[in-house]
């Protein structure tokens, strides 16, 4: 046994709190250790070369590196071993940074702890065995979940490079929230003009299969080999026969609030969400259609010129296989009616930002004329309240929604263009306009469009003589202010969605308490989810504007292309293995495995034992921990190795 120990200074990240020279001198006295060095940056080129030189010259066959977390540089150091001709799994890392120097101030105690960590690593490394990884095929198809601008961009990017894509969208049309918007900052080009061509391109792309009004039901498998069940909900309209003439939508006698217009007007039980919807085919709302509920009416069926209404249609469940998944499920506005001070939603003329988008939009419920919901009159004074449900810890939203400052400025411009005699007031706390051409945009709203910015949150909105009164403050003036307005637009904060959380559970990827999906590393792996092969894009990861969403979608697409450019993937050999002579067939392992990697195996004598599918196993170790007869061992973390590690800790090696 020839063990080499390398202690990293990490600049002064480690050496500031840990006596690295002392640790190295101590390591030299441990059994099996033939050399011990300190290195300023073990991960740098000179650091890597020193480790390789020692392996070759001293004939090392085990390596211990005391540096940062394995999450940061395990792969780096494994490559160093491979380049020096050693099996990469003969390496043990002692985390002297995150778990020692960064969290301790007492130098002496931190040094003692570092010595303990090295004792343990040396104890374990002596028992490590070379491991070999196996290879699995990679399915070249990609699943994109979500048909907003993020999903559309990602799907087009992957499909344009010649690979097959399936896009699943929950609602009856693609387009997402962007389709609801009128004009978009910072250039004020109309959203429809830049989005709808992409929607059409997606629907007609030879490499893309589009499933709207569909949901992902179940996901199994692993990177390169996902199995996905997709439920195509019954539209009750035959998509082959329907020409999208819309006759049925005009005749339907049932009315319900239109989701697309956020309840500002009504739609029929059979409806097309908006004029540019893709596919331009109606859907029947089964919860209100009287024919579905009571077999009465059926008017749509009678007047349909192509006989496309299909009440008999049933949900369809598709089984598909994919190599990679991109999640782009977007965002919602938080439920602002929790704000009693703004009226809990009881004032008709207190509306949300997305509702105002619809009012501004030429295809919206007012045909692009600004009219307030209560009486259809043109408002003279319009107040915008920023940060409703953003930067508000008291309402559980401590984060910034990042887009409201910009669209508030946009509303001021568009409002003044529509109604030149109107007055627009924006109540804000700070203005965050950090991106290219953003600050100039906000300045333009103030200088050229005369937007009145008032710095201070609005404390209360109430009705007086048919007008809405805002009680606010001008903190620059240091004085309370009051404004009578005809229309109040709340810049409501962005939140993750309940359906994204449900999907995250099916995909086994992590999310935060606000329903946003968590990236693998906030700086270095921003589009990777916590599960290999699943990528995230757009506002489902965090509040994001359109430019950033599109950039992230293309980034996720390029990661997918990188993955499926391989014909085979190496799987980690750090997987669980069942000793069938010990297994009693209790299958408690099967219950706890989060990756469905445990299978039943019938032996020749008819008895059933567990078997681990190494392709599915992620090496979490739950099965090994729960197994009553200790029949399951996790490679790289066997009982033998862990006990040896503990013996290292308990050996009281002289310091």
Partner 1 sequence: MNRTLKLNQVDDQFIKQIEQNSGQKLNNCYQCGKCTAGCPIAHSTEFPPHKIMRMLQLGIKEPVLASATIWLCLSCVTCTARCPKEVDLAHIMDSLRELAIKEGVTQARKQPIKLFEKLFLDAIKQHGKLYEMGTLARFNLLTLQPVKDLELLWPLLKKGKLKFTPESINDLEKLAQIFKSSQS
Residue 432: count other Cβ atoms within 10 Å of its Cβ. 19
Distance CA 494, CA 335 (A): 10
Stretch that binds partner 1, among 178-186, 337-345, 476-484, 608-616 (CB under 8 A): 476-484
CB of 184 to partner 1, least distance (A): 24
For residue 478, give Cα distances in angstroms to 146, 424, 454, 474.
47, 21, 11, 6
Stretch that binds partner 1, among 133-141, 203-211, 270-278, 478-486 (CB under 8 A): 478-486
* 484 touches partner 1 by CB under 8 A: yes
Task: Compose the 367-396 pattern: x for residues touching partner 1 by CB under 8 A, - for all others.
Answer: --------------x---------------
Q: For residue 474, give both structure tokens.
A: 């001008």
Stretch that binds partner 1, among 309-317, 385-393, 445-453, 513-521 (CB under 8 A): 445-453
* 341 touches partner 1 by CB under 8 A: no
The b-or-e profile of 510-543 (16+ CB within 10 A means b, else e) is ebeebbbbbbbeeeeebbbbbbbbbbbbbbbbbb
CB of 480 to partner 1, least distance (A): 5
What single string gives the DSSP state of each residue in 333-383? E--GGG-GGGTTT--TTEEEHHHHHHHHSTTSTTTT----TTT-PPPSEEE
Stretch that binds partner 1, among 34-42, 190-198, 343-351, 439-447 (CB under 8 A): 439-447
Site for partner 1 in 527-566 (CB under 8 A): none
Residue number, 477 or 650, with CB nearest to partner 1: 477
* 487 touches partner 1 by CB under 8 A: no
Tell me phi and psi for residue 548, to 5 degrees: -70, -35
* 149 touches partner 1 by CB under 8 A: no
Residues present in the chain in total = 655
* 450 touches partner 1 by CB under 8 A: yes
Stretch that binds partner 1, among 9-17, 94-102, 132-140, 471-479 (CB under 8 A): 471-479
Distance CA 220, CA 227 (A): 5
Judge whether 391 and 399 are in contact, CB under 8 Å.
yes
Long-range contacts of 564-570 (CB under 8 A, 24+ apart): 564/138, 564/139, 564/140, 564/142, 564/163, 564/323, 564/324, 566/138, 567/137, 567/138, 568/135, 568/136, 568/137, 568/138, 569/135, 569/136, 569/138, 569/223, 569/224, 570/133, 570/134, 570/135
Site for partner 1 in 507-526 (CB under 8 A): none
Q: For residue 423, give both structure tokens.
A: 């007055």
Q: What angle do CA 452, 456, 460 make, to 5 degrees?
A: 100
CB of 54 to partner 1, least distance (A): 58
Among 404, 454, 507, 534, binds partner 1 (CB under 8 A): 454
Among 196, 446, 518, 558, binds partner 1 (CB under 8 A): 446
* 429 touches partner 1 by CB under 8 A: no
For residue 612, give Cα distances in angstroms to 129, 137, 327.
20, 18, 28
Residue number, 411 or 535, with CB nearest to partner 1: 411
CB of 476 to partner 1, least distance (A): 5
Among 482, 570, 599, 639, binds partner 1 (CB under 8 A): 482
The full 3-state SS of 111-169, as one line of letters, equals HHHHHHHHHHHHHHHCCCCCCCCCEEECCCCEEEECCCHHHHHHHHHHHHCCCCEEEEC
CB of 454 to partner 1, least distance (A): 7
Half-sphere exposure of 345 toward its Cβ, with a 13 Å CA cutoff?
8
Among 481, 584, 586, 642, binds partner 1 (CB under 8 A): 481
* 209 touches partner 1 by CB under 8 A: no
Distance CA 276, CA 588 (A): 53
Residue number, 6 or 428, with CB nearest to partner 1: 428
Among 1, 75, 477, 646, binds partner 1 (CB under 8 A): 477
Find the DSSP H helices in 512-638.
Answer: 546-564, 588-592, 622-626
Residue number, 264 or 454, with CB nearest to partner 1: 454
Q: For residue 91, give both structure tokens.
A: 């390496």
CB of 383 to partner 1, least distance (A): 9
Distance CA 7, CA 414 (A): 61
CB of 450 to partner 1, least distance (A): 6
* 160 touches partner 1 by CB under 8 A: no
Among 367, 396, 480, 562, binds partner 1 (CB under 8 A): 480
For residue 337, give Cα distances in angstroms to 148, 331, 342, 346.
26, 18, 8, 9
Residue number, 286 or 455, with CB nearest to partner 1: 455
Which pairing describes strands 62-67 and 91-95: parallel, antiparallel, or unpaired? Answer: parallel
Judge whether 358 and 184 are in contact, CB under 8 Å.
no
CB of 345 to partner 1, least distance (A): 24
3-state secondary structure of 385: strand
Among 242, 483, 574, 617, binds partner 1 (CB under 8 A): 483
Residue number, 285 or 486, with CB nearest to partner 1: 486
CB of 438 to partner 1, least distance (A): 14
Among 44, 443, 565, 607, binds partner 1 (CB under 8 A): 443
> How many residues of this chain bind partner 1 (CB under 8 A)?
19
* 452 touches partner 1 by CB under 8 A: yes
Residue number, 474 or 545, with CB nearest to partner 1: 474
* 437 touches partner 1 by CB under 8 A: no
Could you say which DSSP state residue 34 is in?
E
Residue number, 469 or 584, with CB nearest to partner 1: 469
130 burial via Cβ count (<10 Å: 0-12, 13-18, 19+): exposed
Stretch that binds partner 1, among 42-50, 108-116, 205-213, 470-478 (CB under 8 A): 470-478
Tell me phi and psi for residue 373, to 5 degrees: -60, -35
* 497 touches partner 1 by CB under 8 A: no
Task: Compose the 70-109 pattern: x for residues touching partner 1 by CB under 8 A, - for all others.
Answer: ----------------------------------------
Residue number, 414 or 609, with CB nearest to partner 1: 414
For residue 143, give Cα distances in angstroms to 205, 246, 569.
15, 31, 18
Query: Which residues here bind partner 1, judged by CB under 8 A?
Result: 381, 425, 443, 446-447, 450, 452, 454-455, 474, 476-484
């Amino acid at each position: 046994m020839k063990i080499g120990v390398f202690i990293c200074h990490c600049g002064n990240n480690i050496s500031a709190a840990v006596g690295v020279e002392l640790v190295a001198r101590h390591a030299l006295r441990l059994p099996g250790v033939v050399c011990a060095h300190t290195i300023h940056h073990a991960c740098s080129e000179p650091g890597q070369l020193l480790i390789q030189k020692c392996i070759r010259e001293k004939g090392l066959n085990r390596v211990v590196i005391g540096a940062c977390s394995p999450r940061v540089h395990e792969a780096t150091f494994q490559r160093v071993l491979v380049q020096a001709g050693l099996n990469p799994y003969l390496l043990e890392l002692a985390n002297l940074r995150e778990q020692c120097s960064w969290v301790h101030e007492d130098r002496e105690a931190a040094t003692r702890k570092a010595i303990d960590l090295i004792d343990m690593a040396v104890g374990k490394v002596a028992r490590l065995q070379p491991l070999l990884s196996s290879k699995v095929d990679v399915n070249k198809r990609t699943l994109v979940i979500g048909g907003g601008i993020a999903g559309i961009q990602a799907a087009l990017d992957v499909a344009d490079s010649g690979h097959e894509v399936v896009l699943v969208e929950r609602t009856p049309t693609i387009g997402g929230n962007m389709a609801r918007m009128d004009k978009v900052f910072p250039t004020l080009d109309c959203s429809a003009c830049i989005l709808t061509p992409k929607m059409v391109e997606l629907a007609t792309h030879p490499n893309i299969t589009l499933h709207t009004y569909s949901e992902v039901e179940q996901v199994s498998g692993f990177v390169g080999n996902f199995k996905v069940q997709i439920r195509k909900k019954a539209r009750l309209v035959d998509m082959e026969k329907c020409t999208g003439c819309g006759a049925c939508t005009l005749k339907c006698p049932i009315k319900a609030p239109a989701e697309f217009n956020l309840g500002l007007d009504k739609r029929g039980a059979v409806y097309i969400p908006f004029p540019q919807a893709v596919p331009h085919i109606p859907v029947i709302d089964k919860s209100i259609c009287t024919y579905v509920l009571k077999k009465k009416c059926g008017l749509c069926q009678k007047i349909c010129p192509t006989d496309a209404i299909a009440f008999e249609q049933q949900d369809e469940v598709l089984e598909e296989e994919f190599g990679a998944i991109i999640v782009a499920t977007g965002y919602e506005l938080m439920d602002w009616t929790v704000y009693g001070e703004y009226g809990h939603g009881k004032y008709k003329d207190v509306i949300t930002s997305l509702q105002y988008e619809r009012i501004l939009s030429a295809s919206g419920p007012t045909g692009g004329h600004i009219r307030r919901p209560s009486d259809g009159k043109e408002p003279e004074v319009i107040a915008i309240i920023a940060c409703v449900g953003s930067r508000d810890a008291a309402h559980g939203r401590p984060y910034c929604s990042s887009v409201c400052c910009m669209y508030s400025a946009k509303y001021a411009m568009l409002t003044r263009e529509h109604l030149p005699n109107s007055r627009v007031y924006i109540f804000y706390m700070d203005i965050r306009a950090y991106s290219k051409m953003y600050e100039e945009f906000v300045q333009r709203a103030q200088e050229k469009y005369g937007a009145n910015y008032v710095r201070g949150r609005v404390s209360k909105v109430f009705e007086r003589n048919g007008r809405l009164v805002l009680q606010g403050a001008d903190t620059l003036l240091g004085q309370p202010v009051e404004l009578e307005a005809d229309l109040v637009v709340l810049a409501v904060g962005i939140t993750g969605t309940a359906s994204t959380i449900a999907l995250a559970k099916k995909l086994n990827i992590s999310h935060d308490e606000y329903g946003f999906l968590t990236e693998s590393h906030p700086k270095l792996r921003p589009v990777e989810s916590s599960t290999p092969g699943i990528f995230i894009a757009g506002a489902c990861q965090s509040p994001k504007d359109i430019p950033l969403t599109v950039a992230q979608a293309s980034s996720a697409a390029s990661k997918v292309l990188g993955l499926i450019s391989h014909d085979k993937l190496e799987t980690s050999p750090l997987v669980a293995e069942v000793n069938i002579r010990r297994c009693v067939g209790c299958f408690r392992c099967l219950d706890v495995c989060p990756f469905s990697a445990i299978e039943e195996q019938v032996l020749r004598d008819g008895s059933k034992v567990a078997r681990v599918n190494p392709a599915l196993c992620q090496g979490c170790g739950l099965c090994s921990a729960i197994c009553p007869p200790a029949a399951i061992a996790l490679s790289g973390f066997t009982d033998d190795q862990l006990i040896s590690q503990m013996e290292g800790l308990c050996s009281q090696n002289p310091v």
